[in-house]
Amino acid sequence: MSSPADLADQGAARATARTDSFDGLRLENVTKSFGSFTAVDDLDLDVPRGSFFALLGPSGCGKTTTLRMVAGLETPTSGGITLAGNDITYAKPYKRPVNTVFQSYALFPHLDIHENVAFGLKRRKVGNVDAQVTEMLELVELESQARKKPAQLSGGQQQRVALARALINKPEVLLLDEPLGALDLKLRRNMQLELKRIQTEVGLTFIHVTHDQEEAMTMADTVAVMNAGVIEQMGAPQELYENPRTTFVANFLGQSNLIGGTIKSRAADVVTVDMHGVDVSIPAARCHADGDEGWIGIRPEKVLIGDPGEQLDAPGNSIPGGVVTDVSFVGVSTQYQVRMPWGQEIQVFAQNTGHRRIYRPGESVELSWRPDYAFLLDASQDAKAGAQEGTD
Amino acid sequence: MAEMTRRRGLTGYLLLVPGVVWLALFFVIPFYSLVAASLFDPGGSVFSGYEMTWHVQNYWDALKEYGKPNSWSDWGPLLRSFWYAGLSTVICLVLGYVLAYAIAFKAGRWKNLMLVLVIAPFFTSFLVRTLAWKLILGDDGPVVSVLQAVHILGADGRLLATPVAVIAGIVYNFLPFMVLPLYASLDKIDHRLIEASGDLYANPFVGFFKVTWPLSLPGVVSGTLLTFIPAAGDYINAQLLGSTNQRMIGNVIQNLFTDANDYPAAAALSMILMVVIIAMVLFYVRRAGTEELL
């Protein structure tokens, strides 16, 4: 399995070998409007060859429209799409080396599993179809179901047929449109691992569209978070999670506490922010705010909870005066709501390591975190953007 | 408890009563009387009464008289009926498929209006509409004038009293019976399947024959049956738009019942028509692989 860094290196190597041509999938200034509604707005996107790329966003963010433009099922209003240097913006879907695993699978109900999987090969008049189909059905462990009709299979099996039907054509890019959405949790976990295994095995470029942040993070090398037709941020899952650049990314990918603050000073490597009377420092590389105001962001699991005056994880940012308002014990961790002196409730997830006691509602506590974990976001953004009702 | 169960069981049978009575009155009794009439002594008449003599010979006589071709150009009423009905069904299928496809996939917000237009002719009588065709296709009518002007028809050429007029009439009258079942099965097709076929390297033409057409087969089968069966027994179109050279089996049966008063021959011919149609339908449905329709 190649890491994103390796892939970037490979990409760079190829780019120099072929001068200014990029051999992956490239979307340049792509815009798609439906009447007055702009589904995708001036999108630029490079997907390196051989990567597992996830487009993550809430429903209606334009990710499926982007996918359909790559598949050729929609034509961009403006902009261009190239694949390995060839312009495919207006190419017919049946002329592109791109295949799709549809959200609803779209298996042909009148054909059996074998015929469904053979469909693409037969259209291209490839020889030796039966042997290839058998091999592909073995890969997805469905060789015994070859003569059944799609309706006779379970959801998970149908999903694998849809995958086999697309994969057998060895497309340059495989598009996956929320293919796991209809499966139950356990099956979805298995399929995630299986998809990842197959992608590593065959080495094709996968573009996976999903609204499930956990799915995107576990499977993809690179995740692009999309919102309202634009990409908010793109990078390796860990990078996106640890150093989000917008409030949308901070809230959509996991959970974040966002606390308003005023910037006091900017040094070369550290920014000091006045957070309701407490000075907190944030590494300059994690500051994404231009003005004097900003949202200080900290992940709930990075916040430590301790008795008043207790210096946990020093030298850290310590914020006294919290009162526990809610405690939920979830086994592996304990989740606290702590009301701060300025009235805001901060979420804290504490691992149940057994080293520390569990606090009760009403107790006074002091919160602290390491400066390296905090990030600073632009105050002009909505602190609630991307926040989901409940957590997964 | 037992009382309630028994009453519930009884309710089921009571609910069946109206349907059973209906079928008995309007299907079993007429059918029985038709079978009986086909076996009456042909020597009787409506006025003197018929005798039941199990005269199976009626069938052979009817077949000999109406079922065999007289010459290369005159096929006789029975074969002509199947030929006209078959050709009309094929024409209806082609026209109806295009129309149903357009309504199901391309009409957008005009869908309902177009469906209403398909059904609209039913608001006037079948007879009146066919008489209107007599005017349209008449010797001084617009169609003949245009065809004469472009020399497709000669100066004294005509359409009435030709197979063209009869088949045109049948196609017109039975087209809605083709369009509606075709529309119903085309409309059910998931558009994503057609997208998927395009994604899997099928151009629109191949995609149609590999995906859309097979998925619309139930509609094709029920549409062709709904057109062919009544068309084979139709007599209005041949009566109003054709001449004696275009006589169909329906005209013969009608004539035997109402003018010649030869009930045994008319009944035997009706039975033959029915048996042949059932045999053809069974064969067709088997071949089409849509047994679940029956």
Mean pLDDT of residues grouped by 10 in chain A (392 residues)?
Answer: 45 42 88 93 91 92 93 94 92 94 93 95 92 91 92 90 92 91 79 84 90 89 92 94 94 92 90 90 90 92 88 76 93 94 93 89 92 91 74 39
| Per-residue pLDDT at A314 | 61
In single-letter form, the type of residue at position A109 comes to P
Structure tokens at B76: 């006789």
- Which structural domain range is residue A365 located in? 257-378
| Per-residue pLDDT at B33 | 92
pLDDT at B166 over 60: yes
- Domain containing A34 — which CATH number? 3.40.50.300
- Domain containing A327 — which CATH number? 2.40.50.140
Q: How far is CA B12 from CA B2, B5, B16, B22, in A?
A: 16, 11, 7, 17
Ramachandran assignment for A390, one of left (phi > 0), alpha (psi -120 to 50 degrees), beta (any other): left
In single-letter form, the type of residue at position A354 comes to G
Is the ipTM reported for this complex over the cut 0.90?
A: no
| Per-residue pLDDT at A357 | 87
Residues of B with Cβ-Cβ distance to A169 under 8 angstroms: 200-201
Q: How many CB atoms are located within 10 Å of the residue B133 CB?
A: 21
Q: Is residue A350 part of a domain?
A: yes
**A20-A24-A30-A32 Cα dihedral, nearest 10 degrees:** 160
Residues of A with Cβ-Cβ distance to B210 under 8 angstroms: 119
Q: Is residue A127 part of a domain?
A: no
Q: Is residue A102 part of a domain?
A: no
Q: Is B199 in contact with A71 (Cβ distance < 8 A)?
A: yes
Residue B234 phi, psi dihedral angles, 5° rounding: -70, 145
User: A93 to chain B, minimum CA–CA distance in Å?
Assistant: 5
| Residue A111 three-state SS | coil
Domain count, chain A: 2
Q: Is residue A269 part of a domain?
A: yes
Query: Crossing angle, helix B163-187 and helix B111-119, to 10 degrees?
Result: 140
- The mean pLDDT value for B166-179 works out to 96
In single-letter form, the type of residue at position A45 comes to L
Clarify whether residues A288 and A204 are in a common domain.
no
Residues of A with Cβ-Cβ distance to B203 under 8 angstroms: 92, 94
Q: How many helices (H) and strands (E) does chain A have?
A: 9, 21
The answer to whether domain B81-246 has CATH 3.40.50.2020 is no
CA distance A256 to A262: 19
Quickly state the pLDDT bin for B70 (edges 50, 70, 90): confident
The domain ranges of chain B are 81-246
Clarify whether residues A203 and A293 are in a common domain.
no
B19 contact partners, CB below 8 Å, separation of at least 6: none
| Per-residue pLDDT at A257 | 94
Residue that terminates a domain, selected from A209, A242, A275: A242
Clarify whether residues A267 and A357 are in a common domain.
yes
Q: pLDDT tens digit string along B242-280?
A: 998 999 999 999 999 999 888 999 999 999 999 999 999
Nearest to A284 by CA among A371, A383, A379: A371
| Per-residue pLDDT at A21 | 64
| Per-residue pLDDT at B3 | 63
Clarify whether residues A230 and A263 are in a common domain.
no
Q: pLDDT tens digit string along B27-45?
A: 999 999 999 999 998 888 7
Q: Which residues of A127-143 are buried (b: 16+ CB within 10 A; e: fewer)?
A: eebeebbeebbebbebe
CA distance B120 to B114: 10
Nearest to B215 among A93, A110, A169 (CB): A110
Residue that terminates a domain, selected from A242, A273, A303: A242
Query: Crossing angle, helix B213-233 and helix B249-258, to 10 degrees?
Result: 30
Clarify whether residues A374 and A295 are in a common domain.
yes
Q: How many helices (H) and strands (E) does chain B have?
A: 14, 0
Residue A220 phi, psi dihedral angles, 5° rounding: -90, 150
CA distance A251 to A246: 9
How far is CA B34 from its chain centroid? 21
Nearest to A99 among B199, B202, B211 (CB): B199
- The mean pLDDT value for B154-181 works out to 93
Clarify whether residues A268 and A311 are in a common domain.
yes
Clarify whether residues A203 and A288 are in a common domain.
no
| Per-residue pLDDT at A233 | 94
Q: Is residue A14 part of a domain?
A: yes
| Per-residue pLDDT at A377 | 93
Q: How far is CA A281 from CA A267, A274, A311, A372, B292, in A?
A: 10, 9, 16, 9, 74
Clarify whether residues A32 and A179 are in a common domain.
yes
User: B186 to chain A, minimum CA–CA distance in Å?
Assistant: 14
pLDDT at B224 over 80: yes
Residues of B with Cβ-Cβ distance to A98 under 8 angstroms: 199
Q: Choose the mutation target among B199, B205, B292 for the interface with A, i.e. most A CBs under 10 Å.
A: B199
| Per-residue pLDDT at A289 | 87
